A = this chain, B = another copy of it.
């Protein structure tokens, strides 16, 4: 199984602390040696860094831990290959443009019969079940919503997204991180946990590496930062586990909407 890491914040925040722990699962404490990637939504833009090599030895991963990129939304993925060989084209996160926004997607799990999901606007570059499902999912959104819903009128879109996630969950395991630059969407099929940090900030201690951070030294009283991961990343905080079939819509570090489980 792969590992997922996501962040939503109300101020540009670096994810170095969480990423440091997460990174160790890429060939360190975990068996996820088949590539990794991380994506950032920064002021008016998107970029990602992907490497088909184990994260623990990747010079690019070291750059990310040393060079704090501050973003409102981040998505990271460490891969343990099941469908599709180990190569760059199969390395998450995947991206496509829809409605003039960059959509970013990372998936944990494995699907059956995914080849039958019909494709139209978007086609996979690699050969994973994950990217195929992403291309299908985005096109299904686009067919029903040829243009982005007006701001504040996204409920129907989110309901449709939830229905599509449920459809994918019926094909196997489908834990999802998805973002469009404004919202982070997290959907749980089997395993996702989250934590929201806000004032008064305290100390956090990584589970996977010997590192403690005192968030009070790095934040202001107004900051709200939420982190979502396959497994809790810290050992001294209370993480909330998502329910199978649950979709959370995050904005500015807070849960804006919740759908399911049904």
In the complex with contacts A63-B63, A102-B125, A46-B88 CB distance below 8 A = yes
Contact of A67 with B by CB under 8 A: yes
A-B contact pairs, 18 of them (CB 8 A): A43-B87, A43-B88, A44-B87, A44-B90, A44-B126, A45-B91, A46-B88, A46-B125, A47-B48, A47-B50, A59-B66, A60-B63, A97-B122, A99-B123, A100-B124, A100-B125, A101-B125, A121-B121
> Given that A100-B125, A123-B99, A125-B97 are contacting pairs, would A52 and B45 also be in contact in the complex, using a CB cutoff of 8 Å?
yes
Task: Name the residue of chain B whose CB is nearest to the CB of A91.
Answer: B45
Task: List the 4 closest A-B pairs by CB distance, nearest first.
Answer: A45-B88, A45-B89, A100-B123, A44-B87
A111-148 contact mask (Cβ, 8 Å, vs B): 1 or 0: 00000000001111110000000000000000000000
Q: Smallest Cβ distance from A45 to chain B, in angstroms?
A: 2
- 1/0 per position for A65-84, CB-CB distance to B under 8 A? 01100000000000000000
| Any B CB within 8 A of the CB of A205 | no
In the assembled complex, A254 has its CB within 8 A of some CB on chain B: no
Residues of A within 8 A of B (CB): 42-50, 52, 59-60, 63, 66-67, 87-91, 96-97, 99-102, 121-126
Task: For A59, give its contact among B43, B63, B121, B123 (CB under 8 Å).
Answer: B63
The complex places the Cα of A66 from the Cα of B47 at a distance, in Å, of: 20
**Given the complex, which residues of B lie within 8 Å of A67, measured CB to CB?**
59-60
Residues of B within 8 A of A46 (CB): 88-89, 125
A126 to B44, CA, bound (A): 8
Contact of A126 among B45, B47, B48, B96 (CB under 8 A): B45
CA gap between A42 and B88 in the complex, in Å: 7
Taking CB atoms, residues of chain B closer than 8 Å to A87 are 43-45
Cα(A51)–Cα(B215), bound, Å:
27
Question: Once bound together, how far apart are the Cα atoms of A66 and B99, in whole Å?
Answer: 37
